[in-house]
Structures are given as C-alpha cells and as structure tokens.
Amino acid sequence: MRSPFFHSLFRLQGLLLVAVFVVTLGSMPAFAAVNKELKREVTKQQAIKKRTLKQLREARQRKVEKPIATARLTQKDVSKSGGKRKSVRVVQHERVRQGRVVAKSRVNLRVTATLAGKAKASNSVGSRRPDPLVLKTALVSDAASSVVRATDKLQVSAASTAANDDPLSLRSGSALVVDEGTGRILLSKNADTARPIASLTKLMTAAVILDAHQPMDQVIEITDADIDTLKWSASRLRPGTKLTREELLKLALMSSENRAAHALARNYPGGLAAFIPAMNAKAHALGMNFTRYVEPTGLSPQNESTAHDLALLVKAAYHYPLIREFSTHPESEVDVGSRTLQFRNTDHLVFNRGWDILLQKTGYINEAGHCLVLQTKFEGRRVIVVLLDAWGKYSHFGDAQRIRTWLEARGFNALHDPAPTIGEAAALPAAQPGLVRTALVEKAPAAIGE
C-alpha cells in the first residue's frame, strides 16, 4: 500500500500539468502576435534594402551615362532577339569609351598648347632645347612633332639652308643627305643650324691623333685624369688599365669609349692644351666654319657643329683607313690584364646586312639628343647622311632607314636631280645649299693623313 507521500506527489504533478496547459492556452495569442510583428519587421527591412540597392544602381547608371550623348537606343542599335540585354551593354560600353576618348583629346590639346607656348617663349641658348620630361609628355599626347619644330624655328640661324626640305617628316632636328661623288645635296633640314654633337666629336679626335703620326703600338695608361667629371659617365676602362694607342682608337670609334678618347688626347704632343687648338684648326682648314670644340670626347654640350660642317668632316675622315675600319668594326675583345672585356659597335646598322656602311659614328648626350653620321653605298654610289638632335633611343636609326627607303623608292632619281654641285656651290649665294669644297679636301688623300 502506497504511503501518503506518494499520493501528495502525484497530486502536485497533476496540478503542475494543468497549470502548464492553462498557461500555454493563454499565451498562444501573444506568441502569434509577436511572430506576426517580427515577420512584418523583416518584410519592411527587405523592402528598404531593395529600394536602397535600386537607388544605388540608378545613381551609378546616371554617373556612367553623364558624359555620354543622350541619344536613345533605336531598334538598329538593339535587336528584338533574346540577346537584347547583351546588345544594350555593348552599345553603352562603346559610348563610355567614346566619352573617355573625347575627354583625353581635350587634355592632349591643352598639353599641346602649353608645350607650344613654352617653346615659343624660349629664346636663350640654354633654354632652346625642349625639356626631356616635357617632350616625353608630348610624345604621349602625339604632340612631339609640334614641339620639335617649334624648337627648330628658334634655332635656325639667319644663314640657314634656303631649301629646308623634309619630305620624310624626320625625327631629327637637323638632317643632310649628300651624294659624295658630286656634292649634290639630296635632302636638307636645318643643315646650317649649330647644335651640340656629342660623341661625333670623336671623329675629329681620331683625325687629329692620326695626323700626329704617333706610334700606334705605344702603350698608354688610363689614369684618374681620364675620368669624366662633367657627366660622370660610366666606363669599363678602370684607372691603371694599359692599352696601345691603336686599341684605344678602336674603342673610341667603335664603342664611343670616353676614357679612351680622353687618354689619346692627353698623350698628344703638348697634351690637351695643344690638342684642342689642333682640333679647331683642322675644322677651320676643312671649311667647318660653324664648328667649335672644347674637349675631345663630346661630353660637353659646347662642342657644336652643323650638319653641313659634319658632312665635310665625314668626307675628309673617309680618307683615313683606320677610321673607316675601326668605326665599322662590329665587336672586339680587349685584354686588360686580369680579365678580357667585350666591346660592341654603338651603331646598330653595322649589324644589318642590308647596309653597306663605309664609315659611321653615333653620339648622345641629353643636350644633343641622338646623333648619327654615315657614309654608305647606294647602288655603287657613296652617300653621306648626317642626322642630329633626334629624340628617341632609336629615332636616328629609323630616320636613316626612312632615307634609304626614300632613295630606293625614287629609283635614285634624287642622285640626278638638278642640284648644285660642289664646284657650282662657290658661285652661289651663301644661303644656297651646296657642300663647300676646301683646298685641303681637294688635295690627294696622302696629304690629309692617309
């Protein structure tokens, strides 16, 4: 028989169950109301989120279409097929791209106007060349030709070549093409404008060295005095390196080695004090009336000449066999004692089998731009090409190729054009184009250093 305790426990459990049931029945409406309110709040938040996203998309679309023409899409623009939505995107993308192009063109026009204004305002000798950073911007905005031509107008002297013809739109500020055999000028662009000539100076350095008839097998040591303190240009010829005069001359002409050229001039009879006057005296004797040298390497922008004067120098330098050989030598190994150095020609055209180059020299400093002189053969005839102040690492080589293509396209009719010859030039006015012959050039090759 169960005790009274168990009867009391069973009664309490029953009462608790009844109480729970009653409370549950009473709270069901409240729970329902709470759930309904929660659902309503969630629905409201979702609606707000959808409206916000829609507004963002519309604002973004208006921002994209703002610079675009407001013309509506026609049935020609968008087909009625299932690809309609894709076609709309394509057309919209094309309009956005056109808008950007228009905006970029407006910026380029402003840059061009600014650069042209700077070039027009520049009148001093030190500021007559365009700043490299400004020119780089001009190249990006397709305004380079305007800058260069504006600069050239400032540099043209009163005695500039009358026939200033540039049918090829050359990148070089000055250019001259001469039929060496007859002296006929085939192309002339600012040929009498004096410009810095950079390492083209080394042609005159080599000629003066060879005129001195010093022993070519004499050993010369590179010293600290040969280090470039003007541009601080690099060199692999360390102080203490010993090479023969012939090896130094080859490196100066082939690889444009500045320390080699300086060491040659330093070991000239009388040293640099006698060498620089000898360079200027030889230039005067060759008829290079607008040429000046202040040092033997070309690192100084004060070494100046004209395309016309340099054509006379190339014609005279052709009579030096060593200049012809060394300037066109493709590459060479030099034993400097503890190691062997490889040197290559700075003229890329030397490695081009399509060119028959008899003599060449390249040059570059910031003030001079890229320079190139060539004496080459076209259909058995010697032609002198002078290119100065070309902006762009390979622009001077590109100009040379354009000149070659131009001559070939004309069937070399230019070689027979009725232009003044060397002999006729003396009877013409000073401004008339013609390669002026001097008494020294008329002498036999042996008398000018061969």
Tens digits of residue pLDDT in 5-21: 666 666 777 778 777 77
Regarding whether 102 and 204 lie in a shared domain, the answer is no
Regarding whether 422 and 392 lie in a shared domain, the answer is yes
Regarding whether 179 and 151 lie in a shared domain, the answer is no
Q: Does residue 75 fall inside a structural domain?
A: no
- Counted residue by residue, the chain has a size of 450
Q: Does residue 83 fall inside a structural domain?
A: no
In this model, does residue 68 exceed pLDDT 70? Answer: no
**Tokens representing residue 446 in the block:** 């042996």
CA gap 416, 186 in Å, rounded: 9
Residue corresponding to tokens 């703002």: 66
Q: Which residue has the higher pLDDT, 313 or 164?
A: 313
Q: Write the CB contacts of 91 (distance below 8 Å, at least 6 apart in sequence).
A: 73, 77, 78
Rg (CA), the chain: 40
In this model, does residue 374 exceed pLDDT 70? Answer: yes
Give how many domains the chain has, as a whole number.
2
Regarding whether 228 and 109 lie in a shared domain, the answer is no
Q: Does residue 287 fall inside a structural domain?
A: yes
Determine the average pLDDT of the residues in 63-75: 49
Q: Does residue 86 fall inside a structural domain?
A: no
Q: Does residue 313 fall inside a structural domain?
A: yes
Instruction: Give the domain-ending residue among 121, 155, 189.
Output: 155
pLDDT digits 0-9 by tens, 313-335: 999 999 999 999 999 999 999 88
Q: Does residue 333 fall inside a structural domain?
A: yes
pTM score of the predicted model: 0.59
Specify whether the CB–CB gap between 227 and 176 falls below 8 A.
no
Regarding whether 407 and 350 lie in a shared domain, the answer is yes
Host domain of residue 354: 172-448
Q: Does residue 148 fall inside a structural domain?
A: yes
Q: What angle do CA 283, 287, 291 make, to 5 degrees?
A: 50
CA gap 177, 167 in Å, rounded: 12
Catalytic site positions = 199, 202, 256
Regarding whether 182 and 130 lie in a shared domain, the answer is no
Regarding whether 148 and 189 lie in a shared domain, the answer is no
pLDDT mean across residues, the chain = 75
Q: Write the CB contacts of 86 (distance below 8 Å, at least 6 apart in sequence).
A: none
Regarding whether 206 and 102 lie in a shared domain, the answer is no
Regarding whether 148 and 216 lie in a shared domain, the answer is no
Residue 388 CA: distances (Å) to CA of 139, 204, 260:
18, 16, 24
